[in-house]
Amino acid sequence: MSNSDNMIPAWLDGTLTPIDKLDVHRRGLRHPAVSVFVMRRREMLIQRRAMEKYHTPGLWANTCCTHPGWGESPADCAIRRLNEELGIKGLFPAHRDQIEYRADVGGGLTEHEVVQLYVVEAGDDLKVKPNPAEVMEVRWIELYDLAAEISRHPERFTPWMRIYMQEHRDRIFGKLSQS
């Protein structure tokens, strides 16, 4: 597979190298990623991945996530992907943190990502137009309801969404109170 659209940066022998995306996941190579969380007060916009996705199809995930292209900044990648996946324009996410995780995503594939986390507050008038090749459904959900749903039905969510909400929620969203 030599299509440059399928090439993503990954660390190979300590050097960041462009490698085929599927090969990166088959080999479980450590690679850069971006995750975006669009918030409306205490609610997050989540997406259900399209059935055509090569891993974790039909599972719920955060607003959007992807791998930056070779030479693409994480911030530019976050803005690009909001538009490509959800038709969202005019939002400029703020960098929140960086985490690293490794997770089996099924089908012999592994995500080993160094993730730049971005959060952005949206207004009630946010226009969302999901790309059906990427996203089959979206919904807004309050963070505590999301945590409870993941606890009750983890199989409905991507491994990274479970990791974000179970291990890194305070780092991403700050300390939340029940009020």
The residues assigned a catalytic role are 65, 113
Copy the structure tokens of residue 176.
């939340």
Percent of the chain that is helix, strand, coil (3-state, to 5): 30, 40, 35
Q: Is 125 exposed, middle or buried (0-12, 13-18, 19+ CB in 10 A)?
A: exposed
Q: Is 90 exposed, middle or buried (0-12, 13-18, 19+ CB in 10 A)?
A: exposed
CA 50 – CA 57 distance, rounded (Å)? 6
